[in-house]
């Protein structure tokens, strides 16, 4: 796709350099002259946005490490000091913590775009797999970064996640001990997490280089999912996509800045402003929003090992996605059934995220009320029957006490209370988890065989120019 180089050294120095280290030629061919499909839409700007987000995290992270104290006695206070006393520390810290959320927001859009337009299909399997590797590294980095402020959520998040490994038979407990460096989450854990949190972004950077290399071999996919067949299908990356990417990035930075300046803590959990306490678990442990869907999958399976396997499996399945989808058509634009499966999939992921943030026993849907009938002795000595009802079992109990006080007598017979039909968060999570896996393991393999795709255009140029001509006529 890249074809012969079009780089022409502009000066004697550039000519001299080009013969020794052709770095200008590489940059010119990769980011200026690079032939890019002419029909990329704004969903394709998130690759650039993600590179930007990675640089922001690395730069702000290096600054924070200059003030952070990686010890259980100093960590919490040092983060507070950065927020309050260090010059512009509040800004750098807010950018770093909001930046993590922005990074994940962008990566989810980027991944769903790849899913919709079939960007994981041949010849881009390695490109997709490298992307999943980056995503995994991102999750590990984000998790370890969340531990560093050493608040309650940091501590208990670290405890819960490292305990996941103890579900592995036989070697699970030694692995957990090895990860923690002690019998509990402690100083050793915090120190190694700090070390690895500093390392992993550079590993991400390395895989990003491979990711871009793997992208530049076959070139970009595009919303039509049609291969580039002639130079008429492409435009040079600069200025067409440098400008498009820059505009999208500016809009993205607006959102970023809105959070940084107006709601820096809204994406975090207030419990993390309580210093870590190994004796008290917060009433609700929840991960950051971007990990909630996986947390919901973990809790959906009422078995420790099963839950852990399902959670890791939900990411593992992404690695084999290129071979699960049997359809010859890349873009879901031309796949009438798969595109609805995709829409539902996005909805399911959002719903799983919601479930992950709720208590597992909370009722999502309830028909009817809790009812309790009872008998009591009236002042006259007769036996009377009464009934109370309530929306929740706790409320029913309160009402029962209030009722007892009102009638001024003890209930002599309490019949078992009748519970209404309920769908709880955990049951909803189970249904959603089923669809999550069903989408990859059943829907995509089967749809490719039975679905009748729409008419795919022959070339990008034809489709784009026809659209333009139609628009011109109607205008």
Partner 1 sequence: MTESAANTHAEGIGSAAEPTRRDFIFIATSATAAVGVAAVAWPLIDQMNPAADTLALASTEIGLDAIELGQESTVLWRGKPVFIRHRTPEEIALAKRDDSLSASMRDPALDADRIRQANGDAGKEEWLVLQASCTHLGCVPTFAAGDYGGWFCPCHGSHYDTAGRIRRGPAPLNLLLAPYVFLSDTVIKIG
Provide, rounded to whole angstroms, the least separation between the CB of residue 141 and partner 1. Answer: 18
Under the rule (CB under 8 A), what is the footprint of partner 1?
156, 159-160, 162-164, 177-186, 188, 192, 278-285, 299, 301-305, 307, 360-361, 426
Q: CA-to-CA distance for 34 and 27, rounded, in angstroms?
A: 9
Provide, rounded to whole angstroms, the least separation between the CB of residue 156 and partner 1. Answer: 7
Indicate the residue among 164 and 443 with the shorter CB distance to partner 1.
164
Provide, rounded to whole angstroms, the least separation between the CB of residue 124 and partner 1. Answer: 34
123 to each of 214, 217, 325, 328, how far by Cα in Å? Answer: 10, 9, 14, 12
Q: CA-to-CA distance for 269 and 287, rounded, in angstroms?
A: 9
DSSP 271: G
Indicate the residue among 13 and 178 with the shorter CB distance to partner 1.
178
CB atoms under 10 Å from CB of 223, counted, come to 20
Containing 201, the helix (H) or strand (E) segment is: helix 187-216
Measured at the CA of 473, the angle between CA 470 and CA 475, to 5 degrees, comes to 110
Provide, rounded to whole angstroms, the least separation between the CB of residue 372 and partner 1. Answer: 17
Indicate the residue among 51 and 163 with the shorter CB distance to partner 1.
163
Provide, rounded to whole angstroms, the least separation between the CB of residue 112 and partner 1. Answer: 29
Indicate the residue among 226 and 291 with the shorter CB distance to partner 1.
291
What SS3 state is found at 37? strand
Q: CA-to-CA distance for 276 and 150, rounded, in angstroms?
A: 6
Identify the CA nearest to 197 among candidates 47, 60, 48: 60
Q: Enumerate residues 6+ apart whose C-beta is below 8 A from 154.
A: 146, 147, 148, 272, 276
Indicate the residue among 159 and 221 with the shorter CB distance to partner 1.
159
Indicate the residue among 65 and 280 with the shorter CB distance to partner 1.
280
Q: 78 near 43, Cβ under 8 Å?
A: no
Indicate the residue among 356 and 448 with the shorter CB distance to partner 1.
356
Provide, rounded to whole angstroms, the least separation between the CB of residue 182 and partner 1. Answer: 5
Q: CA-to-CA distance for 282 and 359, rounded, in angstroms?
A: 13
For residue 350 the two structure tokens come to: 């959002």
**Strand 363-367 relative to strand 234-236, pairing:** unpaired
206 to each of 17, 322, 323, how far by Cα in Å? Answer: 25, 23, 26
**Strand 35-37 relative to strand 370-377, pairing:** unpaired
Provide, rounded to whole angstroms, the least separation between the CB of residue 350 and partner 1. Answer: 22
- Computed on alpha carbons and rounded to an integer, the radius of gyration of the chain in Å comes to 28
Phi-psi domain of 333 (left: phi exceeds 0; alpha: psi -120 through 50; beta: other): alpha
What SS3 state is found at 180? helix
Indicate the residue among 141 and 185 with the shorter CB distance to partner 1.
185
Indicate the residue among 39 and 159 with the shorter CB distance to partner 1.
159
Provide, rounded to whole angstroms, the least separation between the CB of residue 413 and partner 1. Answer: 22
Indicate the residue among 25 and 176 with the shorter CB distance to partner 1.
176
Provide, rounded to whole angstroms, the least separation between the CB of residue 188 and partner 1. Answer: 7
Q: CA-to-CA distance for 22 and 37, rounded, in angstroms?
A: 26
Provide, rounded to whole angstroms, the least separation between the CB of residue 267 and partner 1. Answer: 21
Q: 119 near 330, Cβ under 8 Å?
A: yes
Provide, rounded to whole angstroms, the least separation between the CB of residue 281 and partner 1. Answer: 4
Indicate the residue among 360 and 445 with the shorter CB distance to partner 1.
360
């Amino acid at each position: 796709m890249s074809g012969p180089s079009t780089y022409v050294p502009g000066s004697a120095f550039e000519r001299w350099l080009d013969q020794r280290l052709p770095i200008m030629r590489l940059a010119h061919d990769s980011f200026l002259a690079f032939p890019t499909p002419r029909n990329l839409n704004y969903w394709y700007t998130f690759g650039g946005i993600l590179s930007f987000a990675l640089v922001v995290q690395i730069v702000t992270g290096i600054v924070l490490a200059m003030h952070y104290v990686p010890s259980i006695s100093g960590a919490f206070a040092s983060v507070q000091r950065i927020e309050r006393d260090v010059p512009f520390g509040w800004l750098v810290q807010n950018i770093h913590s909001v930046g993590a959320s922005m990074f994940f927001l962008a990566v989810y859009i980027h991944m769903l775009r790849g899913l919709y337009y079939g960007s994981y299909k041949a010849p881009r399997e390695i490109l997709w797999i490298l992307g999943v590797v980056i995503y995994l590294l991102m999750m590990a980095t984000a998790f370890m970064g969340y531990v560093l402020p050493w608040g309650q959520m940091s501590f208990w998040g670290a405890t819960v996640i490292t305990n996941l490994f103890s579900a592995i038979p036989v070697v699970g407990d030694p692995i957990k001990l090895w990860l923690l460096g002690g019998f509990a989450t402690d100083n050793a854990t915090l120190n190694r997490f700090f070390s690895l949190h500093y390392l992993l972004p550079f590993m991400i950077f390395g895989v990003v280089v491979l990711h871009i290399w793997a992208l530049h071999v076959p070139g970009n996919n595009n919303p039509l999912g049609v291969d580039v067949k002639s130079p008429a299908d492409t435009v040079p990356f600069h200025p067409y996509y440098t400008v498009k990417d820059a505009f999208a990035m500016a809009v993205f930075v607006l959102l970023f800045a809105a959070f940084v300046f107006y709601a820096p803590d809204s994406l975090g959990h207030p419990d993390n402003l309580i210093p870590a306490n190994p004796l008290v678990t917060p009433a609700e442990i929840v991960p950051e929003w971007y990990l909630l869907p996986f947390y919901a999958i973990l809790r959906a399976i009422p078995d420790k090992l099963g839950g852990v396997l399902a959670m890791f499996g939900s990411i593992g399945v992404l690695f084999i996605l290129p071979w699960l989808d049997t359809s010859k058509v890349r873009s879901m634009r031309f796949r009438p059934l798969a595109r609805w499966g995709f829409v539902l999939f996005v909805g399911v992921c959002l719903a799983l995220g919601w479930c992950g943030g709720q208590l597992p026993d909370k009722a999502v849907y309830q028909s009817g009320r809790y009812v309790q009938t009872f008998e009591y002795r009236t002042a006259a000595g007769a036996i009377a029957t009464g009934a109370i009802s309530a929306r929740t079992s706790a409320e029913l109990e309160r009402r029962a006490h209030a009722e007892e006080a009102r009638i001024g007598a003890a209930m002599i017979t309490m019949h078992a209370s009748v519970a209404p039909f309920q769908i709880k968060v955990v049951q909803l999570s189970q249904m959603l988890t089923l669809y999550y896996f069903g989408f990859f393991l059943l829907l995509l393999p089967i749809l490719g065989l039975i679905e009748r795709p729409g008419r795919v255009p022959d070339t990008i140029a034809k489709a784009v120019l026809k659209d333009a001509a139609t628009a011109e006529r109607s205008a």
